[in-house]
Amino acid sequence: MVRAPCCEKMGLKKGPWTVEEDHILITYISRHGHGNWRALPKQAGLLRCGKSCRLRWTNYLRPDIKRGNFSSQEEETIIMLHEMLGNRWSAIAARLPGRTDNEIKNVWHTHLKKRLCKQNQTNPAAEHYAMEDIATNPTGESNSSKLEDQKLSPQHSSSEFSSSTEFSDANADNHDMNINQNTNIWSQAFSKTNEDYPAITTDPYFQLPSPMLSTTTYESTVQYTDFWYKLLMEAEELL
DNA sequence: AACTAACCCAACCGCCTCGTC
DNA sequence: CGACGAGGCGGTTGGGTTAGT
C-alpha cells in the first residue's frame, strides 16, 4: 500500500517559504479563513500543496504563536507533560499556550532529552526521565499512572520501544524501584498541588487525555501551565 | 582564514483517525 | 459496512548557522 504523496503534482513548490508566499497565505487566511486546506493554495494562488500551507500556518504564521526561547518554566512543564503523555506533542502543545507541537518536539530532541540524560548520569533518582519515554514503555508502569488512571493509549515509536527494551535486568530492577518511589512522590505532589488548584484537578480536562480544548480559554490554559509547574516543584522537593 | 563538527529548526513524509458518502 | 478524502500527528531529514580546531 503506497499512497501517493500530497505534493506529487508537477509544478507544486517545495522547500522553504518565501516572504511573498507567507504574505499571500496570511492575507488569504485573514480574509477567508483556511476552510478547505486542499483547496486553499489554488484559491489563494499559491503553488503549494494544502498540507504544506497548513503546516506553515500552524507552525509559523499563526498570530498567536509565541516566538523566542522557552522559559525554564515552560521547559519544566514540557518535561512533566512528556513524562505523563509520552511523545504526544500535540497534546503537550495544547497545554502550552503559544507553542506548537513541532517547536516542542524540536526543543525536546535538541535540549531537554540531552539535559535529562546528563541529570540521569549524576542523579540516579531521575533515571525514569532519561529512560526515554517511560510513559510509553509497554513493560513498565508510568510514574504518573496513578494520576492518569491508565487512561492513556500510548503511541509507541520504534525508537521508544527499542530503547526501552535495551535495559539490562539490573537496570530494570532499579527502574522498578524508581517507578515505585516516584509514583509515591507524584501522588504526594499531586495532593499538595490539588489544594491550590481544585478547579483544575476536578476538571474533566484533567482526566487525560480527553482534549476539551475547544472550550479552553487562554487564561485557563495559562492556569494549567501554572498548575503543572507547581506540581513539578512539589515533586522536586520530595525527590 | 579555512575547514569540520555540532547544533538548530523548518519542512517533508508516511501513517492514522475521523467524517462523509 | 467499506471506500475514500481531508486533516492531523509524530518521526525524520536537510540545509543553514554557530562553535571549535
Q: Which residues of chain A have pLDDT under 50?
A: 1-6, 8-9, 125-180, 182-183, 202-218
**Which nucleotide has the shortest C1'-to-CA distance from A109?**
B8
DSSP for A85-140?
H-S-HHHHHHTSTT--HHHHHHHIIIIIHHHHHHHHHH-GGGHHHHSTTGGG-TTS
Q: What pLDDT does A129 receive?
A: 43
Q: What pLDDT does A75 receive?
A: 86
Global confidence as pTM: 0.61
Q: What pLDDT does A116 receive?
A: 74
Residue pointed to by grid coordinates 549524576 = A122
Rounded Cα gap, residues A79 and A130, in angstroms: 11
Rounded Cα gap, residues A135 and A186, in angstroms: 14
**Which nucleotide has the shortest C1'-to-CA distance from A105?**
C10
Rounded Cα gap, residues A154 and A138, in angstroms: 9
> Does residue A31 reach within 7 angstroms of strand B, measured from its CB?
no
Q: What pLDDT does A237 receive?
A: 58
Q: What pLDDT does A43 receive?
A: 87
Round to a whole number and report the distance in Å from the CA of A154 to the C1' of B16.
14
Q: What pLDDT does A188 receive?
A: 63
The answer to whether A183 and A144 have CB atoms below 8 angstroms apart is yes
Rounded Cα gap, residues A166 and A172, in angstroms: 10
Q: Which of A2, A47, A55 is nearest to A24 (CA)?
A: A47
Residues 18-37 of chain A sitting with CB below 7 angstroms of strand C: 35-37
**Which nucleotide has the shortest C1'-to-CA distance from A86?**
C10
Q: Cα separations (Å) of A225 from A94, A119, A186, A228?
A: 10, 23, 17, 5
Round to a whole number and report the distance in Å from the CA of A154 to the C1' of C11.
15
